[in-house]
Structure 1
Amino acid sequence: MPTRLNPCSYLPRRLQIVATLTVFVLLCIIFLGTSNSEDFNKYLDEVPYGPKLQEGVHHAVEGAHQVVDHIPNPFGTPAHKPLPEQANSSSGEARWYSDWKWRNPFSSSTTLDEERAVLPPLQNRPPIYTYYDVSSRRKDAQSKKAEQDLLLLWRRAWWAQGFKPMVLSKSEAMNNPLYRAFEDKEMDKALQNELMRWLAWGNMGTGILSSFLAFPMAPYDDPMLSFLRRGEYPTLTRYEGLGNGLYIGTRGDIEAALKEAIASQALHRVKYIDEAVPEDTIQVDAKHDAIAHYSDSMLKSKYGPISEKLKDLKTVGDGLALLPPLINSHLHLTWQNIFTKGISVLKPLPEHTTIMVQPAVDIAMNLTQCPYSPVPTSCPPNRPKCKTCVSNSVKINIAKVFRNDSQTFTIATVPHPYTIQSLVKNNDHLELKTIRRQTDRDVWILAATKELLGTGLSSFARLPSLKDAIASEYGSSRSLWLTAERPYQKDSEKDLEELDWIFGFEFPRDVQPDGKSETPVPGPERRPDPPKPEYGDGPIPSEKDLQNERSLLEKTKRALGTKAATEVRDIIEAWNLADTEAWKFIRAFNARRRKERRQWEDEESSYLGKGVFDRWVDKITGDT
């Protein structure tokens, strides 16, 4: 019989269990009891409890979710994929998607992508053509420079009004199949130049043919400009009073008119194509109030000093050099006359945002300036009863709320939620507890739209109206929206050039704060004193307050561009969904506007003929 080694085996079964538990408890007392209190406390510290235990549970749950998410669920609902990227839909950090649903409060509901803003589809820009033949122009450097300035001014003015301006040359005319039919015919030199314009226009097809001395000077929604932007021209038409300054027509009508001119017996004795074709070939429209044409007859009747110089061969270059500043001053003056109530700089939270809106104030100050004009107090040809700059007081109003007023131009600065919360809290080190418990949501959009939409709407319901004010055809022509993190800098030539193309005239570079009139304005006539709009209705900040705002603004700009602030930025954006959506929308809208123009300029650059003598950009001045 085998020997039993376990003494407990001699005991009954129940006593064996009791004895085993007793031995186990004694061993625990012996070993644990020998540890000192410090070691015991150390062990207790290592035991998770309270926040540590809660954090551990969260990590465990998140890990479990990640594991579960990667397991395909045959019974779950399918998830929609984000919309595919569109071509040319990003610039820097800004990304967008063009869709008719752009007025929806949140872009992510359309794109399923938090980083893409939904913008309205780009408006179709109908082409408008002008003709410039270097070989038929004057060769002196001063005249060439003046004509190139005129062409740049022409392109800029029409682009700002929603068109795609294109400068044609002899190359396009020679590419027209009808060119050979005119090549050997005898005709007046003026008619020859006119036919070359038409041949170049006919080669391009349906569109608008303009003299580079014909400029749009009217509100964006003027009926004539709105008609021209539609790009549908039922008949070949010229405009009474504009001479050969502006024509509209389709390819078929243009070709038919050219063929009529070829067959005309009067081709050798007329100066204009209208005289060489039957009367019913080109219709005449008397409605042309939106267009100013600086023809020879107009210069003679209204701008005598310039006309006199153009008559004399010795001073013709001086006369041409005076045309660009004259036309530019009239474009700027027309803009000022459209917005009779002045400029409104939006400042919804005036106690903390003086430095943030200062770039907008600088833009407003420059827009109120009177540009130099060689013919002081003159008006555009199509607006003989204008208010001249010396007698027109352009007001600047610092407004706490956005007002949808057609006679007021609005300049708004929209901050990122991290920026505005830092300024409001006077602290750029925002923590989760501060954001969730001590921060109001969407403070900027609620304050800005308080008067327009009242106080009863949620911040989400305000987004469609705000987007409409920013990006609709009506709103975008009456406002300029900036982001606080990328304002237009007054010392940046690239930013100032961007404003040139937005407004359609050369944006004034210098502000004269002394209120004195510019030469050659007569002495007794003075411009109004410039406004002092720095603070608006808010309290006047001390120099220390301004310095603190400036420091906070710079810190938030740097922080938003670093990875360290990503977590806090994500939390703030999630807490301020409406303010974030507005900021991303404006950032994308401005980025797309810049990209659209630069792409168009890149396309046109190959046709500008840099260094090629039969094109309008010559080696004398280089790029425009």
Structure 2
Amino acid sequence: MPVQRTLFGRPIGPIHPRKLAILLASVALFALFSLLFTLPSSIPAGPSLSKFTAGHIISLPKFPKAFSPNILTVFRPAAHAPPVQKNSTSGDVSWYSNWSWLTPFSSSVTLDENRSILPPLRQRPPIYTYYDRTVKRDQEMKNAEDTLLFTWRRAWWAQGFKPIILGPAEAVNSPFYAELQMKNLEIPLKNAIMRWLAWESMGNGILCETLVFPMGDQTDHLLAYLRRGEYPKLARFDKLGRGLFTGSKTDVMAAIKQALANPELKLAKDFISAVDAKTFYIDPEHGSLAYYSESVVKERYGKLAAEISQDGPNGLITLNKLINAHMHVTWQNMFPKGIAVLKPKPKHMNTLVEPAHKLAEFLAYCPESPLPASCPPNHQRCSPCVSTTPMVTTTPYTYRNTTGLYTIGTVPHPYTMAVFTQLRSNIDIPWIRRVSNRDEWLSTITKELLGNGVSGAPRISKFKEIVASPHGTSHTLWIPAEKDMATDLGWTFGFTIPRNATNGHSETPVPGPERRPIPVQDAMNGLAPSNPEEIEKEMALMTIAKEFGKARTESEEKVKNALEAWNLADTEAWRFVRAFMARQKMEREQWEEEEKAFLGG
């Protein structure tokens, strides 16, 4: 007796062969359409290596041009590339600022392999200081004050602000200027009110003395608040006196009106005493601000105060050196675990990371200071460089997200990485395809952070966050390997980077090496350094790598394209860092171009 099959309790009759064929055809069509619509979204955008491997591996059959650009995207409409933004090109480097900057591969957004996607440029809130250049001074005093103004501008720029120097020309634009001129006030009080008139003419922002400097981590809550550029109350800071004010244009105007309407204005010593005490909100927190006022210098740096009183210009130059040294020591205290210079392949990368290692040594040096054992006014319990072991410089092969550790990374182009890995310059396509590892540089430096079983896409997203996030910009520095070390990194750190300074500890004067302390071996350094012959070869390869980026033959161009296609994530990291550094430099140069026409520019 035949078996009766059922479905949900109902008997199923025999299926006709014709109906069975229709059912199978429907299933096949559904599978085909699912493949066409879902597969393209899972394929990362990027160049193909197949055109470089002809003659070396078996080629896949090619579809006719009627199916171009890609048979898998025939149902997708063509898309225009994002418009070119203003000031988004520097030499051969181009970028596109967008909130989707953490997208693994920029070409999926920009539709251009050579155009990197960067985070939107953070708005720099203006911070103003007042300097009256019309006051008669000798040339030495002018030069000394200009040096101090330069240090002030650089320190605030490094913390994410836009420093602007105001003068009497801005005060004249205030609607209160005529009223002030009609009042018979002493020169010091009149100049104090002129500062406020100049500030009022500019609008919202921060009014700061030229002797107030930011000395703290960029992630400090006070500096982060000031960078937001929103000041709901007219405020000053406890124990800073007239050092720094914040407020809106409306509040500043109200305070000026109150001061000018004060019937006892002539008896006031400064602007603060000319208005009601309730005009200002007094913020007790100012731990990241250092104010080198006359009273502070007399109280804490008596030797320097005596020099300033005896010789004003030389005293200001000495004060400037002290401020620079305090900013450097403050930076060193923020990273007690030292500086890590990434060296993914320790055996053959000495020459490649040498500029970064030299920069780390300069940063670890004790700065030149007229008072070596002193601390900044806002941090009296600092650790002066002369009284402690100097910063440790290590060369780990991977990035470590460790509190108190500053990281300097050298990012090579895949060609540079290939020649240093193999210690030879004759790279060919068969070696790329059959021997070399994909994205070796990025996989190595993110190995401890993300593990081994992770593809290039999440690695590059994490790397971009490390480079360009607010925390990353203050705790790491990334440099393209093929370019010389920038000479303007003082604008990144906020202080002058020493070149010839002490290393913070003494060695025995006995010339014999047996009496000298044994250097500490860093366990993270990995393999032993190269021998002299290999160092010489590395230097030659570094020259070849730099020249390779300038001019290439047709065969070298194929090798370059093949390497970039095989190492998509490494190429993306290299382009991202180049674009990020180029945009930073362009931003500062444009600001300098704008300010040079004004007072103190």
Output the TM-score relative to the length of structure 2. 0.84
Per the TM alignment, residue 534 of structure 1 is displaced from its structure 2 partner at its CA by 13
* 2:548 equivalent in structure 1: 559
* 1:337 equivalent in structure 2: 333
Which residues of structure 1 form unaligned runs of 5+? 1-53, 489-494, 518-527, 608-614, 618-624
* 1:354 equivalent in structure 2: 350
Aligned residues: 532
| Contact in 2 for aligned 1:514/1:529 (Cα 8 Å) | no
* 1:216 equivalent in structure 2: 214
* More displaced stretch, 163-172 vs 140-149: 140-149
For residues 186 and 473 of structure 2, the distance between their equivalents in structure 1, rounded to whole angstroms, comes to: 46
| Contact in 2 for aligned 1:560/1:569 (Cα 8 Å) | no
Per the TM alignment, residue 547 of structure 1 is displaced from its structure 2 partner at its CA by 0.7
Per the TM alignment, residue 539 of structure 1 is displaced from its structure 2 partner at its CA by 1.8
**Matching residue's letter, 2:445:** A
Secondary structure of 2:164's aligned partner? strand
Secondary structure of 1:355's aligned partner? helix
Per the alignment, do residues 242 and 153 of structure 1 end up closer, same or farther by CA in structure 2, a change over 3 Å counting? Answer: same
* 2:418 equivalent in structure 1: 421
* 2:237 equivalent in structure 1: 239
* 2:591 equivalent in structure 1: 600
| Contact in 2 for aligned 1:94/1:588 (Cα 8 Å) | yes
Secondary structure of 2:219's aligned partner? coil
Per the TM alignment, residue 454 of structure 1 is displaced from its structure 2 partner at its CA by 1.0
Alignment of 1:128-277 (within 5 A): 128-136=127-135, 139-277=137-275
Within the alignment, does 1:394 sit opposite 2:382 as a pair? no
| Contact in 2 for aligned 1:102/1:120 (Cα 8 Å) | yes
Per the TM alignment, residue 316 of structure 1 is displaced from its structure 2 partner at its CA by 2.0
Secondary structure of 1:475's aligned partner? helix
Per the TM alignment, residue 583 of structure 1 is displaced from its structure 2 partner at its CA by 0.5
Per the alignment, do residues 534 and 91 of structure 1 end up closer, same or farther by CA in structure 2, a change over 3 Å counting? Answer: farther
Deviations 1:71-130 (A, max 9, x none): xxxx86421121111111111111111111111111111111111111100111000000
How big is the alpha-carbon RMSD for the aligned residues of Structure 1 and Structure 2? 2.5
Per the TM alignment, residue 536 of structure 1 is displaced from its structure 2 partner at its CA by 2.7
For residues 389 and 339 of structure 1, the distance between their equivalents in structure 2, rounded to whole angstroms, comes to: 13
For residues 220 and 308 of structure 1, the distance between their equivalents in structure 2, rounded to whole angstroms, comes to: 34
Q: 1:320 aligns with which of 316, 322, 327?
A: 316
**Matching residue's letter, 2:586:** K
| Contact in 2 for aligned 1:173/1:197 (Cα 8 Å) | yes
Per the TM alignment, residue 318 of structure 1 is displaced from its structure 2 partner at its CA by 2.3
For residues 131 and 521 of structure 2, the distance between their equivalents in structure 1, rounded to whole angstroms, comes to: 46
**Matching residue's letter, 2:188:** A
Deviations 1:231-277 (A, max 9, x none): 11011011111110100000000001000011001211111111111
Within the alignment, does 1:447 sit opposite 2:449 as a pair? no
For residues 461 and 562 of structure 1, the distance between their equivalents in structure 2, rounded to whole angstroms, comes to: 33
Secondary structure of 1:268's aligned partner? helix
Per the TM alignment, residue 141 of structure 1 is displaced from its structure 2 partner at its CA by 2.2
| Contact in 1 for aligned 2:208/2:243 (Cα 8 Å) | yes
For residues 538 and 65 of structure 2, the distance between their equivalents in structure 1, rounded to whole angstroms, comes to: 43
Per the TM alignment, residue 357 of structure 1 is displaced from its structure 2 partner at its CA by 0.3
| Contact in 1 for aligned 2:364/2:503 (Cα 8 Å) | no
Which residues of structure 2 form unaligned runs of 5+? 1-53, 508-516
Q: 1:538 aligns with which of 527, 534, 555?
A: 527
Per the alignment, do residues 423 and 203 of structure 1 end up closer, same or farther by CA in structure 2, a change over 3 Å counting? Answer: same
**Matching residue's letter, 2:101:** W
Per the alignment, do residues 606 and 616 of structure 1 end up closer, same or farther by CA in structure 2, a change over 3 Å counting? Answer: closer
For residues 335 and 532 of structure 1, the distance between their equivalents in structure 2, rounded to whole angstroms, comes to: 25
| Contact in 1 for aligned 2:214/2:288 (Cα 8 Å) | yes
Moved over 4 A (4+): 64-70, 511-517, 528-535
| Contact in 1 for aligned 2:127/2:163 (Cα 8 Å) | yes
| Contact in 2 for aligned 1:395/1:531 (Cα 8 Å) | no
Secondary structure of 1:546's aligned partner? helix
For residues 336 and 115 of structure 2, the distance between their equivalents in structure 1, rounded to whole angstroms, comes to: 37
For residues 64 and 89 of structure 2, the distance between their equivalents in structure 1, rounded to whole angstroms, comes to: 33
Q: Share of identical aligned residues, percent?
A: 43
